[in-house]
Each structure stands twice: as C-alpha cells, then as structure tokens.
Structure 1
C-alpha cells in the first residue's frame, strides 16, 4: 500500500491507499490494475445519505477496536460504496442478492492483513470479503457525492468505455478519499467500474 496525501479543511493528512498500476490515462479517466484487496463491508438500507452515515459509523467502530483482538486498524482510502439491489447485466461475473433499497460500504484493510490474520468484527452487520485482482476504469472528480453527481459521472464513464471498446463487468462503485468535513472543491472522488476488453 502506498501513502496518499488527503486534503481537508483542517490541513493535510496521510492515509494508506491500495497499490495499483495505471495502464491508460485520458484526462480524468484512468484504467488501473489492482491486486487482491481485503474489505470489511456492511449493507445498510435506505437512501444514499442516511445509509452512508450509519455504514461509516459501523465500519469505523470495527477499525477503532470493536473486533476480536480489540485492535486498532489503520484507516485507508478510498471508502467504497455501491448500491445494492440494482439490476446487473447478464454478462457481469458478479454474484449479488437483491437487497432492496440499500447501499454497501466497504473499508479496504491495510495490506499487512490477510483473511486469516485480520481481526474479526464483533458486529454481525460487518462481513470480511476479498476482491480478486482486476482491471478498473476510474473517473476522478471533485465536489460532493450527491446521487446526481454520482449518476452524472457514471454516465460519462460508461460512455467512454463504450466508445473505447471496453465492457463493464461490475456495477459502479463510489470511491471517497476525504473526510466529510473537507471543502468540496478539494475532495478526491472517483467512480470505479470493473472492466474487460
């Protein structure tokens, strides 16, 4: 994992980020190759804003010591979110149960942990899961993570993928790199879609 500098209204802070290799750069769009990632995830029903707050608090409790080892786990960036219960195309190699109107939020575990060594959450609403290595199309932007902004950026990224001959094999994920008190113009946000050619 590499260190990333995150700007906030209170100054700059560092947070671990997963390693990746950039294959293509086109303005605000990158095609990245990520290795395997270990996630702590939770699904919360409700709208984007309400679900985000509850999910974040639940996952923060886990990394701040509400786990079997009472171990503090370093905060990493980005925080990932995706909508649950959306329709997935027949070509997507993703298994997902419909969860209704809900959002899944995930914290990426620091690279020192494996599925065998990471402390187990005490909250039954948190699951540990591994993402396999994959290619990801990413569109970076600043501003708020409103549903409108997410939908607008997702549409732009999907249009670029279609124009360049790539196929989406996952639903979009929202990636947040900054704490919520960061001035919107200084926030680093991304839309992630797993792809293949």
Structure 2
C-alpha cells in the first residue's frame, strides 16, 4: 500500500479568540458541573502509525486520535527543509496534522540515529530558539522508558510564549522524538490528548 509523502513547507495559520462570561451561583441542590475542556478528555485510538504499511514507517508505532492525518515527510536539500525539517540532531520524518480534527497544529515525529534518548532530546530543545521553563523527566511511554520535556517558546510574531511538549525513546532501530507544538498554548492544551495517546500506546518495532 502506497501513501503520500509530503515535502515540508511552511504552514499558514490563523488565530481565534476565546471569550467567557460569569453567571450567578446556582443553588446547592442544582450545582452545575463545569464542562470538561478538550484537554481533559482522554483520546481513543482511531488508527496507528509507525508499522510497515502505515502512512509513516518508523522505529516505533503509536495510536492516532480520530481525524489526525499522518503523512511521511521527505527530506530534501533545499533551504526550507534545512530550516524547518532539521532541529539539532533530529530530522523530521512524519507530520500528523490536527486540522481535520479541529485544531491548528501538528504532532511531529523526528529521528536522531542511535544513542541515548536524553542526549537527543536535549540537543533537540537546545536547537530551538527563545526557549524557557525547560523541564525534563524520566518516565514510561507504553512499556518503554522515555525522556519527556515540557518548555515554552517565545513567538515573536504573536508576541507571547507558547507551551511545547516532547518525548524521546531510544528504540532498537534508532532514537525517536515525538513533539507537539501548536499555534499557541490554548491550541497546545487542546491537542494534548492526542499527544498523551501517542505516548501511552508507544511500542518498539
């Protein structure tokens, strides 16, 4: 089965504003429970990526949230890929688009050759400009030991910092970094269930 391979190009995105309002306090017998935000809802797998025959063949596999669309990224020698498709020791190999699911952002998969997961992840984050609040932790993804990082990146265009998350695993066929960004922190938080699904269903191949 053949799948489309995307050559990396910059994405054009538009931001939306969220507003809220306060109401009166309900009577104790009629307490209104607050609606759960999208980030509070656990995502269920509606497919997977990574295994032979999937949209992106990777050293690992993991579950995909509903309507997230994966596409393999083809490395090229042009300046666009050099700027956007490489970060520190890592090269982007798969891009999973959240727009069909209603969010602006991607879950991106990078490979960094063989070696310790933390070394690759630290090099990946250090290569990002304008980072702050960087925090690493050793944890597990599925049954595999991983290193996870959370941090913020200052977006000069938006004039604000936005949250980012990533985890790295040293798989037998190479180190893999799975990264979630987003247009802004609100989008990032709404997409976290898909990221957590990927982390929780991770398997080595």
TM over 0.5: no
Larger Rg: 2
| TM-score, normalising length: structure 2 | 0.27
